Amino acid sequence: MRILFVADPLPGLKPAKDSTVAMIQAAWRHGHNCWACEADAISLHYKEERLHSSIFARALRPTDSNQEGTQASGSSGGLSLPLSWAQADPLEQMSANDFDLAVMRKDPPFNSSYFAATQMLSALEQAGLPVVNRPSALRDHGEKMAVLEFPQFAAQGLVSSNIQLLKDFSKRHNKVVYKPLDAMGGAGVFVTASSDPNLPVILEMLTQNESQAIMAQVYLPEIAKGDKRVLLINGEAVPYSLARIPPEGASRGNLAAGGKGVAQPLTEDDKRIAEAIGPLLASRGLFLVGLDIIGNRLTEINVTSPTGFQEITAQTPINVGNLFIEGLEKVFKA
């Protein structure tokens, strides 16, 4: 297959940590050709009653090195890009017809630019280019709010911009996690109690003075054993989760916030949750999903750019990148 990865800037990808790199390397091992572009490199043209696309992308070819990427920054225009894990050829103007599949791997926040990118990809999909994850499904499944569809598995929570309701939730449950709806990596997350004198200020800031809804969830003490990332590939769970364990004295297990990633076999509760909702999400075009589970409670459903491939692969007999590409081959008949 000819696979286009719509991703964040290549120099920022770290091969030891980044799941996008794991996907590309696995695609090479399976004999596929890979290109990469950023979301703003896609243009659409309407002429002669047809949709035409213009995509500025780089062909990617393997190198012998697997070290972290260079610190290059900014656009390199038509020049080749120096990466230690890949040879990134000069930018080439292409069209959707040049690819068999697009994989959307741009990180949140899910802002207006991200929303517009999903609309562009939807247009390409309608013109015949399959996109993983399906752009309409990305728009329909907010990563924090998606758990509301599955209250039987979710941690107790509240989504609101009303500060009084958020305070009342804290009074009922005492220790509460407050978080924005559009961030990632633990950004903007607060763990606090109803007695915290800073609580009003925290809520004013997160809700932007009641103009923006946020999520409140009951604090789960099982976080000390890790915030588990359970990966679903086409509705089936990878046999190992990645438990993100908070540093001593901290409350967030996100790897981006300093958490330690420890791979471990799925628990029976992990399997129960995954088996219940995985096939449904896959039927909606969510080929790759990352469930966040603390103890036996679902806290988030990540669909934009779930990660954890490299850590699970390094610590277990499972190569998650290979599972991902093999899953694509089955669905798209490579």
Active site residue 179: yes
Catalytic residue among 144, 297, 319, 322: 144
Domain termination site, one of 138, 168, 185: 138
DSSP assignment letter at 239: S
* pLDDT for residue 64: 66
Tell me the residue range of the domain where 294 lies.
222-302
Is residue 332 in some structural domain? Answer: no
| One domain for residues 73 and 125 | yes
CATH number of the domain where residue 13 is located: 3.40.50.20
Is residue 329 in some structural domain? Answer: no
**How far is residue 64 CA from its own chain's centroid?**
27
Name every residue whose Cβ is closer than 8 Å to that of residue 305 and which is 6 or more positions away in sequence. 19, 20, 104, 105, 106, 107, 108
* pLDDT for residue 72: 37
Catalytic residue among 244, 270, 297, 319: 244
Tell me which H or E stretch contains 297: strand 297-302
Catalytic residue among 134, 228, 252, 297: 252
Is cis: bond before 133, omega within 30 of 0? yes
| One domain for residues 67 and 177 | no
Whether 81 contacts 58, CB under 8 Å:
yes
Residue 127 has pLDDT above 50, yes or no: yes
CA distance 208 to 266: 39
Is cis: bond before 109, omega within 30 of 0? yes
Integer CA distances (angstroms), 292 to 30, 91, 136, 289, in order: 29, 37, 22, 10
Residue 143 has pLDDT above 50, yes or no: yes
CA distance 180 to 207: 8
Q: Which of the residue ranges 55-59, 125-129, 152-156, 182-186 would you say has the lowest mean pLDDT?
A: 182-186
Is residue 282 in some structural domain? Answer: yes
| One domain for residues 171 and 226 | no
* pLDDT for residue 254: 57
DSSP assignment letter at 304: S
Residue 53 has pLDDT above 90, yes or no: yes
CATH number of the domain where residue 182 is located: 3.30.1490.20
| One domain for residues 38 and 100 | yes
Is residue 149 in some structural domain? Answer: no
| One domain for residues 261 and 249 | yes
Strand 2-7 to strand 101-105: parallel, antiparallel, or no bridges (unpaired)? parallel
Catalytic residue among 228, 229, 234, 297: 229
* Neighbouring-strand partners of residue 298: 154, 293
Catalytic residue among 292, 297, 319, 322: 292
* pLDDT for residue 269: 97
Active site residue 292: yes
Domains identified in the chain, total number: 3
Catalytic residue among 105, 179, 228, 297: 179
pLDDT for 244-281, tens place per residue? 987 765 555 556 556 789 999 999 999 999 999 999 99
| One domain for residues 273 and 162 | no
Whether 207 contacts 215, CB under 8 Å:
no
User: DSSP H helical segments within 15-111, as ranges?
Assistant: 19-29
Name every residue whose Cβ is closer than 8 Å to that of residue 258 and which is 6 or more positions away in sequence. 246, 247, 250, 252
Average pLDDT over residues 178-193: 86
Domain termination site, one of 197, 219, 241: 219
**How far is residue 48 CA from its own chain's centroid?**
37
Domain termination site, one of 195, 219, 243: 219
Active site residue 302: yes
Is residue 309 in some structural domain? Answer: no
Q: How much of the chain exceeds pLDDT 70, in percent?
A: 91
CA distance 72 to 58: 16
| One domain for residues 240 and 117 | no
* Neighbouring-strand partners of residue 289: 232
Classify burial at 195, counting beta carbons within 10 Å of its beta carbon; exposed 0-12, middle 13-18, buried 19 or more: exposed
Write down the mean pLDDT value for the chain: 91
| One domain for residues 107 and 64 | yes
Name every residue whose Cβ is closer than 8 Å to that of residue 139 and which is 6 or more positions away in sequence. 115, 118
Active site residue 17: no
Active site residue 209: no
| One domain for residues 131 and 160 | no
| One domain for residues 231 and 212 | no
Average pLDDT over residues 273-295: 98
Catalytic residue among 234, 254, 302, 322: 302
Is residue 22 in some structural domain? Answer: yes
| One domain for residues 20 and 127 | yes
* Neighbouring-strand partners of residue 86: 62
Catalytic residue among 125, 143, 300, 311: 300
CATH number of the domain where residue 232 is located: 3.30.470.20
Q: pLDDT band at 326, cuts 50/70/90?
A: very high
Average pLDDT over residues 213-225: 94
DSSP one-letter string for 122-187: HHHHHTT--EES-HHHHHH--TTGGGGG-TTTBPPEEEES-HHHHHHHHHHHSEEEEEESS--TTT
For residue 212 the two structure tokens come to: 């923006």
| One domain for residues 194 and 253 | no
* Neighbouring-strand partners of residue 193: 175
Average pLDDT over residues 51-75: 69
Is residue 191 in some structural domain? Answer: yes
Active site residue 172: no
